[in-house]
Amino acid sequence: MNALLNIDHTIMEKAFYERDSRCDGLFYIGVKTTGIFCRITCTAKKPKRENVEFFKSAKQALDEGYRPCKICNPMEARGKTPEWVTIILEAVNKNPAARIKDRDIKNYGVNPARLRRWFKANHGMTLQAYLRALRIGEAFGRIKLGDAVIDAAYDSGYESLSGFNDAFKKIFDSTPKKCDMAEVIKTTRITTPLGPMLAGATDEGICLLEFIDRRMIETQIKRLSTRLRARFTPGINPHLIRLQYEIDQYFSGARKQFSVPLAAAGTEFQQKVWRMLQRLPYGKTISYKELAQMLSSPRSVRAVAGANGDNMIALLIPCHRVIGSDGNLTGYGGGLRRKKYLLDLERSKMNQSN
């Protein structure tokens, strides 16, 4: 599956030699001298330009006789969690309070040093820091529901209340009794053909879904934390599990509407715009002006555009379907090439069903 893109070779060449992650998954390169094809962010030594040809899909490269690169694994969704990491995560999710030491990791056939490097590269923290954040997040959820701090501490695997309080303070900047945070936002990585996305969810629903390489993502996270009076911790909940399933269906063309609950945080006007965006038909586009008119506020085109740009739940609130009045693509947080990919994907699936 790949949308029918129209990207000229000059743009492809620039993106490949600069390893532009925003274009990863949009096209692939074949190396004539080795017979191997790669994703554009491959870390292998870059070949000379005369030895490179471009493909708009992995299938196209395979049809031309190229073999997938073993370094960048172009047949997998970018950002997909390796199986050897998944084994550890499954063990953690079964018993978040358990202590996992290097010898336990080795018993699963995994190299502890390799695992530490993967967590640092993909989560910005070690496995042990990830586990601490996971346990604290679970404990905070229990405390919110009325459990005693000491019960939550010991049930989370802490051997002393002081140790629990110290760990809690590192994450929430406060002790459990004084913490005024209203929410914990559990976060995980969602894999897509266009690269990994950071997903966040409260007990109510999905509140964040952004491409990890979006330049504004740190600002979005801070804004969301302030609006919901929340802290982010690694974790999983039923909404996040459902989200990955629905995202996979969307990219395969099997899903045209999302059903996972949302917990979008914004002003009353932003909420109106986002609800209207969710009503936009799959495969259709609309201009900012037309969207303002649908909201019975024809003079608020600029405000509508601002609300569109402030959307923190990509794909589910389909801001990629909004274009300029002249029909040209306009700004998109994930990058215009991703926006074009999504629109081409939806149109191609609509044509197939007609």
Q: Catalytic residue numbers?
A: 319
Q: Using the 8-state DSSP alphabet, how is residue 320 labeled?
A: G
Question: Quick check: 66 and 36 in contact, CB under 8 A?
Answer: yes
Question: Quick check: 214 and 201 in contact, CB under 8 A?
Answer: no
Question: Quick check: 171 and 133 in contact, CB under 8 A?
Answer: yes
295 closest CA partner among 328, 329, 271? 271
* β-strand pairing of 197-201 with 206-211: antiparallel
Report the alpha-carbon distance of residue 285 to residue 287 in Å, rounded: 7
236 closest CA partner among 133, 102, 125, 115? 133
175 closest CA partner among 136, 203, 211, 210? 136
Question: Quick check: 284 and 256 in contact, CB under 8 A?
Answer: no
Strand partners, 201: 186, 206
Question: Quick check: 100 and 92 in contact, CB under 8 A?
Answer: yes
Separation of CA 320 from chain center: 16
Which secondary-structure segment (H or E) carries 323?
A: strand 322-323
Beta strands in 118-266 (DSSP E): 183-190, 197-201, 206-211, 230-234
Match 């000491």 to its residue by tokens.
150
